[in-house]
């Protein structure tokens, strides 16, 4: 089960997200569903289009399956998804 405490060790594809803070003003408030993840980016799909958003310099608000919201700093998760899942976080 995905919780706030273990979100970094889970798959994020399929979760709803909002870019709540960004170093690039045009990325702020982008929201949608994460459809793909690479080492440095999320691919986010909303009603209009698919956008590729850099992890670095962004803070993402992620909605967990139970409806809980949590914020993740993109700089903390710059790694391949398969490696991030195995990594230990404090």
Which CATH number fits the domain that encloses residue 18? 2.30.30.210
pLDDT for res 1? 84
- Please indicate, yes or no, if residue 2 is contained in any of the structural domains: no
- Please indicate, yes or no, if residue 51 is contained in any of the structural domains: yes
- Please indicate, yes or no, if residue 35 is contained in any of the structural domains: yes
Q: What stretches of 20-80 show up as alpha helix (H) in DSSP?
A: none
- Please indicate, yes or no, if residue 75 is contained in any of the structural domains: yes
pLDDT at position 74 over 60: yes
Question: How many structural domains does the chain have?
Answer: 1
Beta carbons within 10 angstroms of residue 48's beta carbon: 7
pLDDT at position 88 over 90: no
- Please indicate, yes or no, if residue 27 is contained in any of the structural domains: yes
Average pLDDT over residues 67-75: 94
pLDDT tens sequence across 5-63: 888 888 899 999 999 999 999 999 999 999 999 999 999 999 989 999 999 999 999 99
Question: Measuring CA to CA, how many Å separate 75 from each of 47, 59, 61, 65?
Answer: 27, 8, 14, 23
- Please indicate, yes or no, if residue 18 is contained in any of the structural domains: yes
| Parent domain of 61 | 7-86
């Amino acid at each position: 089960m995905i919780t706030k405490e273990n979100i970094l060790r889970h798959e994020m594809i399929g979760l709803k997200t909002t870019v709540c803070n960004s170093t690039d003003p045009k990325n702020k408030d982008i929201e949608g569903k994460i459809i793909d993840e690479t080492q440095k980016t999320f691919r986010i799909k909303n009603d209009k289009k698919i956008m590729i958003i850099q992890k670095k310099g962004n803070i993402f608000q992620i909605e967990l399956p139970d409806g809980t919201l949590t914020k993740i700093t993109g700089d903390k998760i710059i790694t391949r998804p398969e490696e991030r899942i195995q990594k230990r976080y404090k």
